[in-house]
Amino acid sequence: MNEPAEIWDGGWLLMEHDHATGRSVWMTLQDDKYVFRVDMPLDDIFDVNREAEAVTHGQAFGDWNRIASVPHHLVHKTGLAEALKQDDNAHLARFFNDSDNRKFRTSRGSV
């Protein structure tokens, strides 16, 4: 049986790909150390978030409204996990009110 061909993206070797989620894990060697990169498409998450935000139109704001949906790996990378742990509402508000992060929002208004 034939071995699958290696797939390269420049100096990055594809190690794993999940067809269902589109998540890909890549590896390269830098300074005699292996470095891994994870690529994950976010378009489906953004579409679901946009639909969820549309449902909130005409509804009153209140406690315990879902305001966003952020992929797990970005929760850690952006500092949201630590902000939640430390009860740092100022960091959370800055992140979710930033227009660059609008696609993660599932409700309108400000945090």
**Burial status of residue 57 (CB atoms within 10 A of its CB: 0-12, 13-18, 19 or more):** exposed
Q: What is the pTM of this model?
A: 0.67
Residue 12 DSSP symbol: E
Answer yes or no: do 56 and 79 share one domain. Answer: yes
Question: Is there a domain that residue 68 lies in?
Answer: yes
Q: Are 30 and 37 in contact (CB under 8 A)?
A: no
Domain identity same for 17 and 32:
yes
Alpha-carbon distance of 61 to 79, in angstroms, equals 26
CA distance linking residue 34 with residue 1, whole number of Å: 29
Q: Per residue in 30-85, pLDDT tens? A: 999 999 999 989 998 999 999 999 988 877 777 677 889 998 888 999 999 999 99
pLDDT at res. 55: 87
| 33-39: strand order across its sheet | 8-9, 12-17, 24-30, 33-39
> 64 vs 97, which has greater pLDDT?
97
- pLDDT at site 1: 66
Q: CA gyration radius for the chain? A: 19
Mean pLDDT score, 9-14: 96
* pLDDT of the residue at 84: 95
Q: Is residue 111 part of a domain?
A: no
Residue 47: give the domain boundaries: 43-104
97 has a pLDDT exceeding 90: yes
